[in-house]
Amino acid sequence: MTLKRSAARTGRALWRKQHHLGRMGLRELVHAFFGHYAIQAYLLLFVASLILFAMDPMDAPRSWATVSLVILAYPLVWYGLHRWVLHARWMFKVPALAGVWKRIHYDHHMDPDHLEVLLGALRTTLPTILLVSALPGWLIGGPSGALLGFATGLAMTCFYEFCHCIQHLGYKPRHPALAAMKARHMEHHFHDEDGNFGITNFAWDKLFGTYYRRPERPRKSSTVFNLGYDEAMARRYPRVFQLGSRAPSSRRQRLREGGRS
């Protein structure tokens, strides 16, 4: 076997390997995160976008405006998509969108610690990144602005995804701010999904009244894992079920009653 073929086979095996964050440490996460094809694609596109931008750069004011806009808008865009698209119960009712909703969010809530599901698929993430980062850049600075905006959006996506993964690791951070961030996100996954939609920033949750701590909502949501797609919904809108629903892992089963912080 040639070295090239051996390396290719090793890479495919790494991508196919299933990683469960609750059983991983930070070092294992770094290895799995940067070994995932989606992250590698983001980084390659990031470098390519910067190289093309450097060949025909914008002036400094428009460059700073593009980068600042994408960075500032990212938490709001994530909040809006998370709350009003992924948690609104309409995507699974549209057969053409049911598979996208299942892949992006339903499977993640059914098994929150599954790394390969958490990171998403390029066919769903890249169009969104282009829309929310390259388009504003284009409006500010044309093609060069689009390249810089896209690069910024890719960098923000990698940062958010890594933070998201860290919140699903099976340990409690020592730093109070990080511990609070993790607790809010775990409440979203294991107590009540109708709130705490942020990942690294809960400012928009506080502004729109969706921020909460567990004691403020004593009753656990009955749809925290299935997002409202229960047996009755599956009979009316069977597309997600037909595509094969992801059952919670045994670890998820044990945590259903109490969740984790």
Domain boundaries, the chain: 20-255
> Residue 258 — very low, low, confident or very high, per pLDDT cuts 50/70/90?
very low
CA distances from 202 to 37, 128, 196, 199 (A): 29, 21, 7, 7
Query: What pTM value is reported for the model?
Result: 0.84
pLDDT, tens only, 137-185: 999 999 999 999 999 999 999 999 999 999 999 888 888 888 899 999 9
Average pLDDT over residues 15-28: 82
With a cut of 50, say whether residue 247 has pLDDT above it: no
Residue with the larger pLDDT of the pair 4 and 105: 105
Average pLDDT over residues 224-231: 93
pLDDT computed for residue 12 by the predictor: 44
Concatenate the DSSP letters of all residues of the chain into one string. --HHHHHHHHHHHHHHS--BGGG--HHHHHHHHHHSHHHHHHHHHHHHHHHHHHHSPPPHHHHHHHHHHHHHHHHHHHHHHIIIIISSTTGGGSHHHHHHHIIIIIHHHHSTTBHHHHT--HHHHHHHHIIIIIHHHHHHHHHHHHHHHHHHHHHHHHHHHHHHHHHTSSS--SSHHHHHHHHHHHHHHHT-SSS---SS--HHHHHHT----GGG--SPPTTTTTTT--HHHHHHSTHHHHH-PPPPPHHHHHHTTT---
> Residue 120 — very low, low, confident or very high, per pLDDT cuts 50/70/90?
confident
Give the chain's mean pLDDT.
87
pLDDT computed for residue 74 by the predictor: 93
- How many CB atoms neighbour CB 255 within 10 A? 19
Beta bridge partner(s), residue 20 = 114
pLDDT computed for residue 172 by the predictor: 82
Beta bridge partner(s), residue 114 = 20
> Residue 245 — very low, low, confident or very high, per pLDDT cuts 50/70/90?
low
What percentage of the chain has pLDDT greater than the value 90? 75
pLDDT, tens only, 55-73: 999 999 999 999 999 999 9
